[in-house]
Chain A
Amino acid sequence: MEKKPVLSVKNLKTYFYTEDGIVKAVDGVDFDVYQGETLGIVGESGCGKSVTALSILRILDEKGRIVEGQVLLDGVDLTKIEEQDMRKIRGKDIAIIFQEPMVALNPVFTIGDQIMEAIMLHQKVDEKTARNMAVDLLRKVGIPEPEKRIDQYPHELSGGMRQRAMIAMALSCKPKVLIADEPTTALDVTIQAQIMELMKELQKEYGMAIMLITHDLGLIAENADRVVVMYAGKVVEYADVKTLFNDPKHPYTWGLLHAIPRLDIEQTRLYNIPGVVPDPLHFPPGCKFNPRCEFKEERCTREEPQLIEVGENHTVRCFFWQKVDEAKKRKVGEFV
């Protein structure tokens, strides 16, 4: 069954024009998000995952600019429409949840004010209706005593409660796409699970698509249907979640999975990918991963690989992806 994507990002390039030079934070990213599905975007800090999210909503800071590419929401290119039309999409069709619920809510307004503001902006309802809707939303996201909580300020709520309030705000207009930018990173583990569970339930109920941005592979494994792995502003691998975890093709993905501690085998020392994320102002020539790559050859330092199809709905940006397969066989005791 061929589904049509709700949100489709094509060759997106977002550059930041800083005093030190041009930072190519996002440099050619493609992916599709389907209704009712969760797309995981995974990568290290600074790989461009959050910038991708901000580019979709066009809320980059003044130095950042989308220089190329398309962001299609139901076929409409969001990079081309007027700012005032974009405003009608933000919060209504595409909503976002940020990483830090501590700082993502305005400290001087009650959570009720902030949720009602979103409701009244996009829906023609009076204040009383909006308030009732906000109370319902708070109840739905599992905040106890919503009639009381609605008049509280963010600092009066715990971190988990604040993130629930953020979710209530994001869902207030039943968006088609919900971008969750590291929604659980700032929360402790038990709360993380609750929040993810809540998001899954709400996804079922509303049928929205979720873009889950995280560096936590565990979160991806449990929640995503499809995964985009990003490195240095580019998609390096794209596959459905099972394929990615069982059969990674890119050396970077392989390294990431390899670095997860495992209970089923004995490990004296945890694997880590050598080196650090390259400085975005001075990317290496050729493949951007080459300085850290175990399978590097001379060609990698000269030429930039393109995304190639290696299986059904599985693409990878590497010349020598077969080498990863060989490595997997070789190190079978350590890594499956």
Chain B
Amino acid sequence: MLTYIVRRLLLLPLILFGLSLIVFGMIQSLGPDRLLAAYVNPGVLDKLTPAQLEKIKQKYGLGDPMMIRYLKWLKNTLQGDLGWSLVGKQPVRDAILSRLPWTAELALYSIIPVVFVGVWLGVIAAVNRDKFLDHFVRIFAVVGWSFPDFVFGLIVLMVFYSILGWFPPGNLSLWADQVIKSPEFRRFTSLVTIDALLNGRFDVFVDALRHLVAPILTLSWLWWAYLLRITRSSMLEVLTKEYIRTARAKGLSERVVINKHARRNAMIPVVTVGGGMVIQLFAGTVIVEMVFNRTGMGSFTATAATQLDYASIMASTLFYSLILVLGNLVIDILYAVVDPRVRLG
């Protein structure tokens, strides 16, 4: 198992290298003139003479061959310099570090309702196959699964903020934001909810939570519907297996048969898709953060992409692929944990 993990980790730089090459190529294929838009206000762009344009291209190295520009980028990146973020108006590294915790908080907390509600309802639906409860839960899931998250997010925003006023958008209320930026507030983990508790600021914790509920609901809605369907079908399949009959023939109660013998087996495919889902949750933050006006990796990437801030785009792409690769590694390990037949190697 350990050699497997090490081998996978050794592959990581190679994957990141290939990926950065592709993304870099895609950005550069826009051509130097389009890339100028990142440096010059489009309104001004029209009024510049060709000589002036050429000068700007020279200044930012936009005219150089792509390979040279890529190697330059690679050299800086390897030295820890990810470039200047036009969107963040700060070094890309700082921009990412300050935004990452907000996204991590959102994505990680979303896993909890997704996994628990999804798996729990999936098992219930399977056990009550074709009965009222099953139909109800399945209709719920189909509706949930077919709802685009940006539409659902807007509805959530409308209901819980405009009408009820319970869950405001943004990361934190102004006062809470000032509290966490004050020197007395010590940052242990950089996750605000946990730090607030560690600092004994229960009010800040509640405020952070109020800002998290609506985006978590939006983000998790789609995915627990998905997980429910996977769990249900996997559970149904497992329930027809002969070892379930063996378990019943032993005299075990139906509860033990379902919760021990069936569910453990049903979890095997769920771990695979569920793991992929957690990775998707990170990607899903792009839309959710835009809708709920949160500053985080998602909204940062989206803004960077629309403004051709390629240093930021490169860095966020690498960040997301890092999540993807590490996430998949975790899935593989989990897979071996739930299914003793799987040997990593």
- Contact surface of A with B, Cβ cutoff 8 Å: 54, 57, 59, 84, 87-92, 95-96, 98, 100, 103-110, 117-118, 121-122, 153, 155, 166, 169
Contact = CB atoms under 8 A, between A and B. Distances in A.
Given A98-B246, A108-B340, A155-B341, A103 B251 contact: no
A90 B246 contact: no
B340 A103 contact: no
A59 B341 contact: no
A100 B341 CA distance: 18
Interface in B53-99: none
B344 to A, nearest CB: 15
B156 interface: no
Given A106-B261, A155-B340, A90 B250 contact: yes
A117 B242 contact: no
B251 A90 contact: yes
Contacts of A118: 250-251
A103 B240 CA distance: 11
Contacts of A105: 243, 246
B251 A104 contact: no
Nearest to B254: A83
Contact of A98 (B242, B264, B268, B338): B242
A87 B340 contact: no
Contacts of B248: 57, 59, 90
Contacts of B339: 107-108
Most buried by B among A84, A90, A95, A106: A106
A104 B250 contact: no
Contacts of B242: 98, 100, 103-104
Contact of A106 (B246, B268, B338): B246
Given A103-B243, A108-B264, A121 B341 contact: no
B249 A57 contact: yes
A103 B241 contact: yes
Given A59-B245, A153-B340, A107 B250 contact: no
B253 interface: yes
A176 to B, nearest CB: 14
- Ranked 7 nearest A-B pairs via Cβ: A90-B251, A91-B251, A91-B250, A106-B243, A103-B242, A153-B340, A87-B251
Nearest to B265: A108
Contacts of A57: 248-249
B22 interface: no
A158 to B, nearest CB: 15
Given A87-B251, A87-B252, 14 more contacts: A59-B245, A84-B253, A90-B250, A91-B250, A91-B251, A92-B251, A96-B246, A98-B245, A106-B243, A106-B247, A106-B261, A107-B243, A108-B265, A118-B250
B251 A122 contact: yes
A153 B243 CA distance: 13
28 contacts: A54-B245, A57-B248, A57-B249, A59-B245, A59-B248, A59-B249, A84-B253, A90-B250, A91-B250, A92-B251, A103-B242, A103-B243, A104-B245, A104-B246, A105-B246, A106-B243, A106-B247, A108-B265, A108-B268, A108-B338, A108-B340, A109-B261, A109-B264, A117-B252, A118-B250, A153-B340, A153-B341, A155-B341
Interface string B227-255: 00000000000000111011111111100
A90 B265 CA distance: 23
B218 to A, nearest CB: 35
Contacts of B265: 106-108
